[in-house]
């Protein structure tokens, strides 16, 4: 006998992601899930962004990492509220981990929460956390073929940052080629070449992000959960 089901396999995770989101919405916290390969510059992008925030947008960070506290310590040194999640051998963050982490964050003193996912271009895309935006950070040294090799994560992005743009020439990175790969699976997704080293391009990314955060502050009923 056949029984129809039609349920997402990660349904249990999705439900907790929705709970997380309800908590964030209630407290007016706008949440960004930052995904990238190891070393692409997730922490650097978060720092470059938080440094430039207007005073009335207070940042917070959840750091996902296999084992270390290095990134969390860097963030804490800037007096930004931060919680570290060590995933051990896990290759991604999931919604229950975020549920636990937010118990240790002063959410009512945070307007913009960055979640630094585990460095990986495959798994994080499958696990919703309860965020408003999914941002993928690629970087020049990784090569311009990454958008063709990992279409899934680029398809899941609400914005793509190309970091280490100061190194484009060194790595003979063909930005148009890279971008065409993204456009194949995610047409018209906002694309920001930036350098955390020189600061080039960071303002354009920041302006876009603040626009999103502002529209959330005005109307918290945004349905898409990532």
Ligand X SMILES: Nc1nc2c(ncn2[C@@H]2O[C@H](COP(=O)(O)OP(=O)(O)OP(=O)(O)O)[C@@H](O)[C@H]2O)c(=O)[nH]1
Binding mask 165-184 for another protein (x = CB under 8 A): ------------x--xx-xx
Among 18, 122, 207, 224, binds another protein (CB under 8 A): 122
- Edge to edge, the sheet with strand 30-36 lists 82-86, 59-65, 112-116, 30-36, 133-139, 159-163, 191-193
Residue 99 engages ligand X in binding (rule: CB under 6 A): no
Residue 85 engages ligand X in binding (rule: CB under 6 A): no
* 3-state class (DSSP) for residue 36: strand
Q: Are 199 and 48 in contact (CB under 8 A)?
A: yes
Q: Which of the listed partners (another protein, ligand X, Mg ion, none) does 8 bind, with a CB threshold of 5 to 8 Å by partner kind?
A: another protein
Among 30, 71, 83, 163, binds Mg ion (CB under 5 A): 71
Binding mask 32-51 for another protein (x = CB under 8 A): --------------------
Min dist CB 87 to ligand X, Å, is 12
- Burial level of 172, CB count in 10 A (0-12/13-18/19+)? exposed
- N- to C-terminal Cα separation, the chain: 36
For residue 146, what are the CA distances in angstroms to 51, 66, 104?
29, 23, 35
Name the residues that contact ligand X, by CB under 6 A: 36, 38-44, 71, 119, 163-164, 166-167, 195-197
């Amino acid at each position: 006998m056949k029984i129809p089901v039609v349920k997402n396999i990660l349904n249990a995770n999705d439900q907790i992601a929705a709970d997380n989101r309800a908590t964030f919405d209630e407290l007016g916290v706008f949440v960004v899930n930052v995904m990238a390969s190891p070393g692409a510059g997730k922490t650097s992008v978060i720092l470059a962004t938080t440094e430039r925030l207007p005073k009335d947008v207070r940042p917070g960070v959840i750091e996902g990492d296999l084992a270390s506290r290095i990134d969390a310590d860097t963030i804490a040194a800037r007096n930004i509220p931060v919680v570290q999640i060590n995933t051990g051998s896990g290759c991604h963050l999931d919604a229950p981990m975020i549920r636990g982490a937010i118990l240790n964050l002063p959410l009512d003193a945070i307007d913009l929460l960055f979640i630094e996912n585990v460095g990986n271009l495959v798994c994080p895309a499958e696990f919703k956390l309860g965020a408003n935006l999914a941002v993928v950070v690629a970087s020049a040294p990784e090569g311009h073929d990454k958008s063709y090799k990992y279409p899934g994560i680029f398809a899941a992005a609400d914005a793509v940052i190309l970091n280490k743009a100061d190194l484009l020439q060194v790595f003979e990175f063909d930005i148009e080629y890279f971008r065409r790969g993204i456009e194949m699976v995610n047409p018209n997704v906002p694309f920001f070449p930036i350098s955390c080293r020189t600061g080039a391009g960071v303002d354009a990314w920041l302006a876009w992000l603040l626009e999103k955060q502002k529209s959330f502050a005005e109307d918290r009923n945004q349905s898409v959960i990532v």
